C-alpha cells in the first residue's frame, strides 16, 4: 500500500490535490520537531543506506497525527529543478527509528492548524526551492530550507528562538550525526557547513 503524501508544487492547497475536507487540515499543532535522519544502520523508505548522509525535515505534532514536511531532491515539474516540498501524514506517532538528532519546539499559538500552516508556507514561496547539486551529483540544501522555515515560524511568534532544550538553530543544524554500527546509542558528530539552496520566484 502506497504511503499518503502530497507534493507541494502549486501555490494553493487545492492546487496540490489536498481536498478541503481532508481530515488533517483541521488538526491543531502542539509542537514541531526538527528531525535529522540518518540513512545508515536502518534503511529509509526507498531502502537506501548511507551512514554519512543526514536528511532534515520538520514533523508537526498534533493530538491525533504527526505531519511531516520535507524538502526532497525530486525533480520539480514547475521549476524544472530538483527540490520538492513533500507533505506526509505519518502512519505512526512518535519518533522515527531513523532519527539520529531531534530538536523540539513547543508551539506558542494553539489556534494554528495544519491548514493555516500550509497557507503560510505556500504564501511565502517555501515550496519553490532549488537544491544545489554537488560535483558527485548529490542534491543538497534541505538544512537551509528547514532553517528558513524555523526562522519564519519564529518571526511569526509561533515558536521561540530556542528549542525546548535551549538550543539555537546554529547549535545543532551545521553538523552531521552518525550512529555507531556496534552501539546504536552512540553518535558521532562532525561539523558540516549548511549548503544554501535558492528560493525561486
Q: How many domains does the chain fold into?
A: 1
Each residue's pLDDT tens digit in the chain (201 positions)? Answer: 567 899 999 999 999 999 999 999 999 999 999 999 875 544 444 454 444 478 899 999 999 999 999 999 899 999 888 999 999 998 888 888 888 899 999 999 999 999 999 999 999 999 999 998 887 777 889 999 999 999 999 999 999 999 999 999 999 999 888 876 666 677 788 888 888 999 987
Domain membership of residue 102 (yes or no) is yes
State residue 191's pLDDT score.
86
Domain membership of residue 177 (yes or no) is yes
Backbone angles phi and psi of 147, in degrees to 5: -60, -40
State residue 41's pLDDT score.
44
Distances (CA, A) of 2 to 66, 110, 134, 172, 190: 17, 32, 31, 33, 35
Domain that holds residue 184: 6-193
- Can you tell me the distance from the alpha carbon of 57 to that of 35, in angstroms, rounded to the nearest whole number? 5
State residue 99's pLDDT score.
87
State residue 107's pLDDT score.
97
Distances (CA, A) of 198 to 42, 45, 46, 166: 30, 26, 26, 29
Count of CB atoms situated within 10 Å of the CB of 162: 14
Q: Which residue from 58, 38, 51, 37 is spatially nearest to 169, judged by alpha carbons?
A: 58
Domain membership of residue 51 (yes or no) is yes
- Are the C-beta atoms of 106 and 31 separated by less than 8 Å? yes
Domain membership of residue 1 (yes or no) is no
Count of CB atoms situated within 10 Å of the CB of 20: 8
Domain membership of residue 200 (yes or no) is no
Domain membership of residue 201 (yes or no) is no
- Can you tell me the distance from the alpha carbon of 34 to that of 146, in angstroms, rounded to the nearest whole number? 8
Amino acid at each position: 500500500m502506497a504511503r499518503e503524501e502530497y507534493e507541494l508544487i502549486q501555490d494553493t492547497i487545492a492546487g496540490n490535490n489536498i481536498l478541503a475536507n481532508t481530515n488533517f487540515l483541521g488538526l491543531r499543532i502542539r509542537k514541531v520537531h526538527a528531525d535529522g535522519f540518518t540513512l545508515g544502520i536502518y534503511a529509509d523508505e526507498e531502502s537506501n543506506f548511507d551512514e554519512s548522509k543526514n536528511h532534515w525535515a520538520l514533523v508537526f505534532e498534533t493530538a491525533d497525527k504527526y505531519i511531516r514536511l520535507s524538502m526532497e531532491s525530486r525533480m520539480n515539474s514547475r521549476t524544472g529543478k530538483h527540490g520538492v516540498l513533500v507533505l506526509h501524514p505519518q502512519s505512526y506517532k512518535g519518533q522515527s527509528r531513523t532519527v539520529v538528532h531531534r530538536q523540539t519546539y513547543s508551539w506558542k499559538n494553539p489556534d494554528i492548524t495544519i491548514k493555516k500552516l500550509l497557507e503560510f508556507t505556500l504564501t511565502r514561496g517555501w515550496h519553490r526551492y532549488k537544491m544545489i547539486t554537488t560535483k558527485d551529483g548529490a542534491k543538497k540544501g534541505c538544512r537551509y530550507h528547514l532553517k528558513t522555515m524555523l526562522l519564519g515560524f519564529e518571526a511569526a511568534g509561533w515558536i521561540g528562538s530556542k528549542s525546548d532544550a535551549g538550543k539555537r538553530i546554529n547549535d545543532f543544524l551545521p553538523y552531521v550525526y552518525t550512529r555507531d554500527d556496534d552501539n546504536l546509542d552512540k553518535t558521532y558528530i562532525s561539523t558540516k557547513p549548511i549548503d544554501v539552496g535558492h528560493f525561486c520566484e
